[in-house]
Amino acid sequence: MPEIVKFVNNGAASITPAIMEKVLRQLPQWKLEFTQIQAPLFPHLVDQLEFLANAVEDAAEGVYKELPYSTIAQSVFALIYAHKKLGIIPDSILNLGYADDSSVVRAVLIQNEKAFAIYAGVQDVDWQKITSQP
């Protein structure tokens, strides 16, 4: 996991306000796209992606101002990564295609667990349903 954490942190460091703005415009479409993910080995992935997308939207729109910028940047990076069909493991590879997406998302959730647990509580989201497990 340390390599994935380093990968996420390096990727998040490249997230600029312009990139975040572009992602925000595309998030409604991406959220629909994420609901179509069929990854039985990673049953929490769709809920986790929706959670990250909602957190980014709420932070950007000023609905929730308590998430650190680093948390938002990591979340944006994870959303961009999940949106791409080619990653470390291409999504088209049966059973394993979403392993890298899940690892990236979990690294973001684990690193920011305290902040996200508070956000989930404020938004009346069941944090246990989101879980940082695969």
Domain boundaries, the chain: 2-130
Distance of CA 36 to the CA centre of its chain: 16
pTM equals 0.92
**Number of CB atoms found within 10 A of residue 56's CB:** 22
Rounded CA gap, 113 and 57, in Å? 18
Burial letters for 89-118: b for 16+ Cβ neighbours within 10 Å, e otherwise? eebeeeeebbbbbbbbbbbbbebbeebbbe
- pLDDT-based confidence at residue 114 (cuts at 50, 70, 90): very high
Q: What is the pLDDT of residue 88?
A: 66
Q: What is the pLDDT of residue 58?
A: 96
Q: What is the pLDDT of residue 84?
A: 83
